[in-house]
Amino acid sequence: MILGDRDLRYFIDRGLIKVEPFLSDTVRENGLDLRVGKQIARMRSPGRPLKLGDDVSDFFSVKEGDSFLIQPNEHVLLTTMEYLELPNDVMAFVNLRSSFARLGLFIPPTIVDAGFHGELTIEVVGSAFPVELESGTRFLHLVFAKTLTPIESPYAGKYQGQRGVTLPKFLK
């Protein structure tokens, strides 16, 4: 079952779904809009291949700021301003708001698992032209679905509790 605006307000008012900070325009018709945070990680090539299990920090440059220019076809990681907590029977589909998709920006299919808590780190792929995003701009739309029963093994992975841009973590 997809949660509509009244369902989402019910879950938020009772603390079943937590969104911090929660602003008046966060709840939309059939989901929540999340905002660009204050960090970006730009992918870069250090001139050597990445082997899974390697430290990935050489492959990214993390910066803080109030706005970020995403270059054509550039792949970046952005964080959300909001910290989110989901119960064990609600998950979310992450979508780019359509106005940004109409500019040619793209995000790969992304799910927020039931039981997750943290800020979201999302890959964004640049358009055919540079696009500037300001921190605080609504750019993601999350559509929430309630599972028929609570998840037996809620999310407890390596990104649980993340704050800021979190680089990929590969366990050996």
pLDDT-based confidence at 99, cuts 50/70/90?
A: very high
Q: Would you say residue 75 lies in a domain?
A: yes
What is the DSSP code (8-state) at residue 71?
Answer: P
Q: Would you say residue 166 lies in a domain?
A: no
Count the neighbouring beta carbons within 10 Å of the beta carbon of residue 38: 17
Average confidence score pLDDT of the chain: 95
Q: Locate 164 and state its tokens.
A: 């800021």
Q: Would you say residue 154 lies in a domain?
A: no
Average pLDDT value for residue range 97-118: 97
pLDDT of residue 53: 83
Q: Would you say residue 172 lies in a domain?
A: no
Average pLDDT value for residue range 57-81: 97
Statement: residue 111 has pLDDT above 60: yes
Average pLDDT value for residue range 94-101: 97
Q: Would you say residue 103 lies in a domain?
A: yes
- CA–CA dist 127, 117 (Å, integer): 30
Instruction: Give the CATH number, domain containing residue 98.
Output: 2.70.40.10
pLDDT of residue 52: 86
Count how many domains the chain has. Answer: 1
Cite the beta strand spans of the chain per DSSP E. Answer: 18-20, 27-28, 31-43, 60-64, 67-70, 75-85, 90-96, 110-112, 117-125, 131-134, 138-146
Q: Would you say residue 167 lies in a domain?
A: no
User: Annotated active-site positions, please?
Assistant: 123
Domain ranges, residue 108: 5-44+60-146
Q: Would you say residue 158 lies in a domain?
A: no
Q: Would you say residue 156 lies in a domain?
A: no
